[in-house]
Structure 1
Amino acid sequence: MRYSHKLSDAVHILAYVEIYHDDDLSSMAIAQSVESNPGLVRRLMAALRAAGLLATQRGTAAPEITRDPADISLLDIYRAVETNDHLLHIDDKTNPQCIVGGNIQETLREAYATVQTAAETQMATITLASLIADIRQREQQRTQS
């Protein structure tokens, strides 16, 4: 199973733009921090721009967060970059002649909907500002050790 890193990479990009706002904000510099390629960074930045979370100008390396980080939730970022908005996925290829195979999809749809709602509710309470504050605190602890 392949996991999406879009959300964590998008948070990384936004935190980088906020923390390094006076430094090199090129997709190359950000990609080095993410340990990815500049093309991926540009695609995620385009999605963040389309969602109104990031402002960029073609030909310049000066992206800006469009709102106060305290007003951007993890859910906002998730919805900006994840094209499949479901955290959990059901295997639709089961044997309908089997008691389990014939009923598992609907059973899991209900359970997964409950999990999805709970996750989104929690994600709405986590702000970009709180994540950035945690990054700064961890860096301070790391450098003092």
Structure 2
Amino acid sequence: MKISTRFSDAIHILAFLNIYQDTKLSSENIAASVMTSPVVVRRIMGALQKASLISTTHGSPNPHLAKDPSEISLLDVYYAVEGHKQLFSVDPKTNPQCIVGGNIQKVLGRYYQETQNAAMGRLARITLDDVINDILVEQSKKEDK
């Protein structure tokens, strides 16, 4: 099973839009940074626009953040590109006659929900501004070497 990178790619795109806001922001240029196709970038940007996180003008390579980075939480980004899907899922096809198979769904369901709540709470407290600042700090460290 392939794990989706839409969430991290969406954060990447948003940070790119902010850091490179004074340059040509075509989907080709953004895709070169993400190392994906411009089609994937446009698809993710469509979801971000639908969630009112970015603004775009059709035919113009000038997308920009619709809000200040400090007002965009990673949870906002997650919901924009992944919806409200669960982080984990329990296999629904287990043997109800087995001690493990008959109880694992209920038991894991509780743990998974607890973990989901904790993860979503943490994502709600991290802003795009936090990510951008950390990117700039990391880049500064590279330049100081």
- 2:118 pairs with 1:118: yes
Alignment of 1:1-145 (within 5 A): 1-83=1-83, 85-145=85-145
Q: Secondary structure at the match of 1:62?
A: strand
Give unpaired runs (5+ residues) of structure 1.
Answer: none
- Number of residue pairs aligned between Structure 1 and Structure 2: 145
Q: Distance in 1 between matches of 2:34 and 2:90?
A: 30
Give unpaired runs (5+ residues) of structure 2.
Answer: none
Would you tell me which structure has more strand in proportion to its own residues?
2
Q: Percent of counterpart pairs with the same letter?
A: 48
Stretches of 4+ aligned residues off by more than 6 angstroms? none
Q: Secondary structure at the match of 2:102?
A: helix
Q: Distance in 2 between matches of 1:31 and 1:84?
A: 26
Q: Secondary structure at the match of 1:122?
A: helix
CA shift, 1:84, in A, is: 5.5
CA shift, 1:85, in A, is: 2.1
* 1:131 alignment partner AA: V
Q: Distance in 2 between matches of 1:83 and 1:37?
A: 22
* 1:12 alignment partner AA: H
Q: Secondary structure at the match of 1:102?
A: coil
Q: Distance in 1 between matches of 2:140 and 2:132?
A: 12
* 2:39 alignment partner AA: G
CA shift, 1:68, in A, is: 0.5
CA shift, 1:4, in A, is: 1.1
Q: Distance in 2 between matches of 1:31 and 1:68?
A: 23
Q: Distance in 1 between matches of 2:141 and 2:46?
A: 33
Q: Distance in 2 between matches of 1:25 and 1:90?
A: 41
